[in-house]
């Protein structure tokens, strides 16, 4: 995996904005996972969306200041809603953005 050090260094320095997609597997549907994710994202001042997929996972996108996005990623990996059981959280398509592409954090049907 070349180039990971440079990416990590670049992320550590600025409070730039990032966008990252996520998918959470486990017991995450029917346990208010989306509602809690929205609440946590709003608490952190992040924007994006969350939705249930047809194959039993929850997916979405997070955008905001890097450090805050990291906090929500950690929350999606370990915490979730009180009744959820997270087996895996995967993050992809991470990129630096110059402006937020969403107005708020929405639950999509």
Only one residue has tokens 């969350």, namely: 50
CA distance 57 to 43: 23
93 is catalytic: no
CA distance 13 to 99: 18
**To 5 degrees, how large is the angle CA 94–CA 59–CA 69?**
40
Residue 72 near residue 41 (C-beta atoms within 8 A): yes
In terms of DSSP bridges, do strands 17-27 and 47-52 run parallel, antiparallel, or are they unpaired? unpaired
Pick the catalytic residue: 34, 70, 77, 85?
Answer: 34
Pick the catalytic residue: 43, 52, 70, 88?
Answer: 52
Catalytic site positions: 34, 52
């Amino acid at each position: 995996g070349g180039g990971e050090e440079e990416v990590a260094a670049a992320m550590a320095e600025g409070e730039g904005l990032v966008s990252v997609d996520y998918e959470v597997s486990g017991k995450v549907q029917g346990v208010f996972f989306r509602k809690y994710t929205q609440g946590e994202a709003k608490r952190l001042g992040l924007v994006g969306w969350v939705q249930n997929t047809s194959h039993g996972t929850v997916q979405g996108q997070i955008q905001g200041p890097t450090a805050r996005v990291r906090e929500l990623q950690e929350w999606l990996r370990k915490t979730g809603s009180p009744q959820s059981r997270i087996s895996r959280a995967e993050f992809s398509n991470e990129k630096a953005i110059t402006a937020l592409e969403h107005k708020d954090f929405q639950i999509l049907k």
